[in-house]
Amino acid sequence: MKKLSLAAGSALVLAAAVTGCGSSGTSNTSNTGGSTGTVSLNFLQNKPEVVDQWNQLIKAFEKQNPNIKIKQINPPNTDTTLQSDLAKGQMPDIVAMGADATFIQMAKNGVFKDLSNAPELDKVSPVYLKMLEQEVGKDTPYALPYTVNAVPIIYNVDLFNKYHLKVPKTWDELMNEAKQIQAAGGTPFYNGFKDAWTLAPIWNALAANTEGSSFIQDLKAGKTTFAKSDLTAAKSMQEFVKYGQSNQFGVDYNDANVGFAKGKSVFYAQGIWTLPVIRQANPNIKLSTFVVPATNDPSKLKMVSGVDSLLTVTNSGNTAKEQAAMKFIDFLLEKKNAAQYANAAGLFSTVNGVKNSDEALKPLQPYIDQGKVVDFDDHYYPPAMAAGNQYESVLQGALSKKQSVQQLLQQLDSLYQQSASHQ
């Protein structure tokens, strides 16, 4: 009996100890660590490709600011993680993510700090600042654009030359080259479609260029449907998957990056964020890019480009934390750091005066400079449709089962109806 109550007693003491250190990790006050005035920040970023780069930046920042400790979180599913963090009142203090449905929904609901009076606004591109405000649908900046991406076709220069190809100007030219490669026993595209989201880049490039610029407004107003406006995009998509490797729905994103890097295909239809990962898997590969020739009319072609990472601070009501977070953002906006990150991540920087020096991105630069860019379609889909890879799953399902374009579009429409009604 004595032994037992002793065990129970010590269990309670230990439980109290766990509670103690448990609360320190989650509490809003900056009481972690012994030294007073140390602020611990949780920093969530959604790009698995750049975990190391962020850790380097964080290290450099912590060296300059020994009183601020930053912990990087890179969850496999940002949407669910953020939503449940919000439900628990345990939002990360700083978030770097794409301008996706989850961000938009949260910004609308006042989760993030209003940056209207922040001096940092002057340091970044007004074009992309505007794009963010449009997405949220308010004239208030809730985030700073940090980097922007683009969806081109990436190609392996050696293989490209081996097949005597030239940069295609139209969709038909691209498909003909693909046919030519396939006939010669090669693989035109290497796709990582086991991860549903990897269908998004090419879909967005095709849809945004073919559905007409008022599609989203018309869709919301009930004037059009996916079936009416995205028929061309869906047909192109269907044509496109004919030229992927036979196992394209069984290879995931990571393996696809490596496969392309190892020369398994000539082209790779992915965002420019894959460039560093491809080079990591094969440092000797020669890469170049061209804008997805989504239409047969080159004069109207636009490049899909959206805010890849925005920087935003959570409204925590804790001034010390918010100030520390802004300090980190100031650090990130320094030209040297912005350039370091953009180059390492294979992206264009939005910080004024910072250019990406990557040769492979040169063919895309004119589109950025001339403003011939269009935002990702899916940034405007209803949250329940875009979050959690919902619409990508529809594409993945229909294309892997070789369903007709009508079936594919019909499923997109019914998903849209449902998502719009559960907002």
Residues 44-83 within binding reach of another protein (CB under 8 A):
48-49, 51, 71, 73-77, 79-81, 83
Among 35, 64, 117, 246, contact with another protein (rule: CB under 8 A): 246
Among 6, 9, 25, 33, contact with another protein (rule: CB under 8 A): 25
Q: How far apart (Å, rounded) are the C-alpha atoms in residues 72 and 328?
A: 13
- Look at the block and give the residue holding tokens 């479609």: 193
Contact between 97 and another protein by CB under 8 A: the answer reads no
Q: How far apart (Å, rounded) are the C-alpha atoms in residues 102 and 326?
A: 22
* Tokens describing residue 155: 């190609």
Strand pairing partners for 291?
Answer: 152
Among 87, 183, 184, 221, contact with another protein (rule: CB under 8 A): 87
CB 177 within 8 A of CB 188: yes
Contact between 411 and another protein by CB under 8 A: the answer reads yes
Question: By C-beta, is 15 or 121 nearer to another protein?
Answer: 15
Contact between 393 and another protein by CB under 8 A: the answer reads yes
Which of the ranges 9-17, 118-126, 175-183, 331-339 carries the binding residues for another protein, by CB under 8 A? 9-17
DSSP H or E run through 79: helix 78-88
At residue 39, what are phi and psi to the nearest 5 degrees?
-110, 130
CB 384 within 8 A of CB 423: yes
Q: How far is the CB of 402 from another protein (least distance, A)?
A: 10
CB 271 within 8 A of CB 260: no
Site for another protein in 267-326 (CB under 8 A): 277, 281
CB 234 within 8 A of CB 409: yes
Which of the ranges 153-161, 233-241, 246-254, 292-300 carries the binding residues for another protein, by CB under 8 A? 246-254
Q: How far is the CB of 121 from another protein (least distance, A)?
A: 27
SS3 of residue 246 by DSSP: coil
Among 6, 19, 162, 300, contact with another protein (rule: CB under 8 A): 19
Q: How far apart (Å, rounded) are the C-alpha atoms in residues 125 and 394?
A: 35
Question: By C-beta, is 29 or 357 nearer to another protein?
Answer: 29
Contact between 389 and another protein by CB under 8 A: the answer reads yes
Identify residue 98 by its one-letter amino acid code.
Answer: G
Q: How far is the CB of 201 from another protein (least distance, A)?
A: 17
DSSP line for 396-422: HHHHHTT--HHHHHHHHHHHHHHHHHT
Among 6, 26, 158, 161, contact with another protein (rule: CB under 8 A): 26
Contact between 137 and another protein by CB under 8 A: the answer reads no
Site for another protein in 249-268 (CB under 8 A): 249-252, 254-255, 257-258
Q: How far is the CB of 51 from another protein (least distance, A)?
A: 5
Among 23, 31, 116, 323, contact with another protein (rule: CB under 8 A): 23
Contact between 4 and another protein by CB under 8 A: the answer reads yes
Question: By C-beta, is 86 or 231 nearer to another protein?
Answer: 86
Sign of CA dihedral 99, 100, 106, 111: negative
Considering only CA atoms, which of 416, 410, 388 is closest in space to residue 83? 388
Q: How far apart (Å, rounded) are the C-alpha atoms in residues 404 and 154?
A: 28
Q: How far is the CB of 26 from another protein (least distance, A)?
A: 5
- Look at the block and give the residue holding tokens 């010590």: 10
Strand pairing class (39-45; 373-374): unpaired
DSSP line for 322-377: HHHHHHHHHHHHSHHHHHHHHHHHT-EE-BTT-----GGGGGGHHHHHTT-EE--G
Among 62, 172, 173, 195, contact with another protein (rule: CB under 8 A): 195
Which of the ranges 118-126, 230-238, 314-322, 383-391 carries the binding residues for another protein, by CB under 8 A? 383-391
Question: By C-beta, is 260 or 367 nearer to another protein?
Answer: 260
Q: How far apart (Å, rounded) are the C-alpha atoms in residues 233 and 243?
A: 16
Considering only CA atoms, which of 247, 282, 40 is closest in space to residue 154? 282
What does the per-residue mask of binding to another protein show for 166-185, with x meaning CB under 8 A?
Answer: --------------------
What does the per-residue mask of binding to another protein show for 329-368, with x meaning CB under 8 A?
Answer: ----------------------------------------
Question: By C-beta, is 355 or 401 nearer to another protein?
Answer: 401
Strand pairing partners for 108?
Answer: none
Among 34, 37, 66, 89, contact with another protein (rule: CB under 8 A): 89
